C-alpha cells in the first residue's frame, strides 16, 4: 500500500525542487551556449536560454529515487533510457545535431525500454474480432509508438509554455485514468506520472509567456519520451479503449504532426522539413496574440482530455460515436484555421455545397 498523503507531500517537494533548479539551469544554459537566437522560424525577439528540460529531468528523478522510491526494476531502466534522451537533447540545444543523430539517440533509448524495462506492446484486442498476438511486430510497434509520440511533443514546442502546458494536461489526464480506472496495480505508474507533472509545474512559471527559459529539445524530447513510455504501461495488452485513450489525450501534438506530414507531402516538401504552418502559427496568423494562442490550444487540449475520460465509462458503440464526432469536429477545426492549406478545405466545401442546394430549394 502507498500512503497517498505522502505521495502528495512529495509532489509538493518536487515542485519546490524544480522551482529552485530552473534558475540555475538558466545560468548554465547561457554559459554553455544553449541558446536560441531570433530568426524567421522562431517567435522570440531576443536570445533565449534553452535546455530548461534539464530542470524537469533532475527534479523528477531526484524525487523518484529519494523522495518517493519506485521499484528499481522499473525506475533504473527508465532512468538510463531517459538520460540518453536528455544527453541527446542537451547536445542538440548546444550544437544542433543532425536529425539522424537525434533519431539514433531516441532509437537506442527505445530499445532500452523494450529489452531492459520490458515495456512493450504484446497483444491487440479488437472488439467483435478477437485477440491478436503481435509476435515479431511487437518490437516495431513499440518503437513506432515511442518515436511518434516523442516527435509529436517536440513539434508543438514553438511558443512560450505551449509544450509544457499541453504535457501537464495530458499527463494529468493519464494520472486520473491510471488511478481511478486501471486499478491498484498501476499505483507505481500513477506516482511516476504525478511526480512528472509536479516537476513540470515547478518549471512552468519560468516557461509561460513571457518566458525566461525555453525547454529546448532537452525538455521536448524528454517529455515526449516519458509520455510515450508511461502510456505504454497500459498498452502491454492493447485493447481498443486502452489504445485510443492516450491517442486522444495527446490529440493536439498528434493532430499537428499528422497534418504537418500531410501538408508537406501535398506541397512536395520533405516530411522532415521545417515550416511556419503549425497549429500555433496558424492561430497567430488569424490575429491571436502569443498568450491567446497558447491559452486556446490549452483549451482544445482540455477538450481532448475530457473526451478521453469518457472512454472508460462508455460502451464500444458509444466509443465509436464519440470518435466519429471527435474526428468530424477536428477536421472542421483544422480546415477553419487552414492547417493543411487555405485552399484545401474539402469538408467545408462539401457543407457549403449542401447548404447552397438547400437554399435553392427554399
* Residue 110 CB coordination number (10 Å): 25
* Residue 16 CB coordination number (10 Å): 13
Residue 217 marked as a ligand binder: yes
End-to-end, the C-alpha distance of the chain in Å comes to: 68
Query: Among residues 64, 120, 362, 91, which one has the least CA distance to residue 238?
Result: 120
d(CA 271, CA 230): 27
- Cα-flanking dihedrals φ and ψ of residue 187, to 5°? -55, -45
Q: Which spans in the chain are helix H?
A: 4-32, 53-62, 72-95, 99-115, 138-155, 162-180, 187-207, 216-232, 240-249, 251-266, 279-285, 290-310, 316-337, 346-361
Query: How open is the CA angle 310-316-318, to the nearest 5 degrees?
Result: 55
Query: Among residues 83, 17, 70, which one has the least CA distance to residue 222?
Result: 83
Residue identified by cell 521499484 is 71
- Cα-flanking dihedrals φ and ψ of residue 301, to 5°? -60, -40
> Do the beta carbons of residue 112 and residue 225 sit within 8 Å?
no
> Do the beta carbons of residue 248 and residue 304 sit within 8 Å?
yes
d(CA 21, CA 165): 19
DSSP SS3 for 35: strand
* Residue 53 CB coordination number (10 Å): 32
Residue 154 marked as a ligand binder: yes
Binding annotation: 154, 217
Binding annotation for Mg(2+): 154, 217
Amino acid at each position: 500500500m502507498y500512503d497517498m498523503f505522502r505521495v502528495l507531500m512529495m509532489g509538493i517537494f518536487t515542485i519546490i525542487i524544480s522551482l529552485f533548479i530552473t534558475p540555475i539551469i538558466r545560468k548554465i544554459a547561457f554559459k554553455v551556449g544553449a541558446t536560441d537566437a531570433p530568426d524567421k522560424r522562431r517567435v522570440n525577439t531576443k536570445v533565449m536560454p534553452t535546455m530548461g528540460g534539464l530542470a524537469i529531468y533532475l527534479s523528477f528523478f531526484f524525487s523518484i529515487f529519494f523522495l518517493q522510491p519506485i521499484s528499481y526494476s522499473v525506475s533504473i531502466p527508465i532512468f538510463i533510457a531517459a538520460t540518453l534522451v536528455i544527453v541527446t537533447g542537451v547536445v542538440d540545444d548546444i550544437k544542433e545535431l543532425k536529425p539522424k543523430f537525434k533519431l539514433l539517440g531516441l532509437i537506442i533509448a527505445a530499445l532500452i525500454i523494450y529489452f531492459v524495462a520490458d515495456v512493450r506492446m504484446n497483444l491487440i484486442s479488437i472488439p467483435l474480432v478477437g485477440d491478436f498476438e503481435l509476435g515479431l511486430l511487437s518490437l516495431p510497434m513499440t518503437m513506432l509508438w515511442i518515436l511518434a509520440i516523442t516527435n509529436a511533443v517536440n513539434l508543438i514546442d514553438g511558443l512560450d509554455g505551449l509544450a509544457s502546458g499541453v504535457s501537464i494536461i495530458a499527463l494529468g489526464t493519464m494520472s486520473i485514468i491510471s488511478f481511478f480506472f486501471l486499478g491498484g496495480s498501476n499505483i507505481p505508474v500513477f506516482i511516476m506520472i504525478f511526480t512528472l507533472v509536479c516537476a513540470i509545474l515547478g518549471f512552468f512559471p519560468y516557461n509561460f509567456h513571457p518566458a525566461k527559459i525555453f525547454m529546448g529539445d532537452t525538455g521536448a524530447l524528454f517529455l515526449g519520451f516519458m509520455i510515450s513510455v508511461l502510456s505504454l504501461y497500459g498498452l502491454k495488452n492493447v485493447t481498443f479503449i486502452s489504445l485510443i485513450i492516450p491517442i486522444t489525450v495527446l490529440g493536439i501534438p498528434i493532430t499537428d504532426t499528422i497534418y504537418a506530414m500531410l501538408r508537406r507531402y501535398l506541397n512536395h516538401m520533405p516530411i522532415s522539413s521545417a515550416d511556419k504552418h503549425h497549429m500555433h502559427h496558424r492561430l497567430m496568423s488569424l490575429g491571436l496574440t502569443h498568450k491567446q494562442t497558447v491559452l486556446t490550444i490549452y483549451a482544445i487540449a482540455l477538450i481532448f482530455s475530457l473526451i478521453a475520460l469518457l472512454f472508460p465509462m462508455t460502451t464500444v458503440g458509444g466509443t465509436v460515436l464519440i470518435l466519429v464526432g471527435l474526428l468530424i469536429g477536428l477536421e472542421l477545426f483544422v480546415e477553419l484555421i487552414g492547417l493543411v492549406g487555405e485552399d484545401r478545405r474539402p469538408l467545408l466545401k462539401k457543407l457549403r455545397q449542401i447548404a447552397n442546394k438547400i437554399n435553392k430549394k427554399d
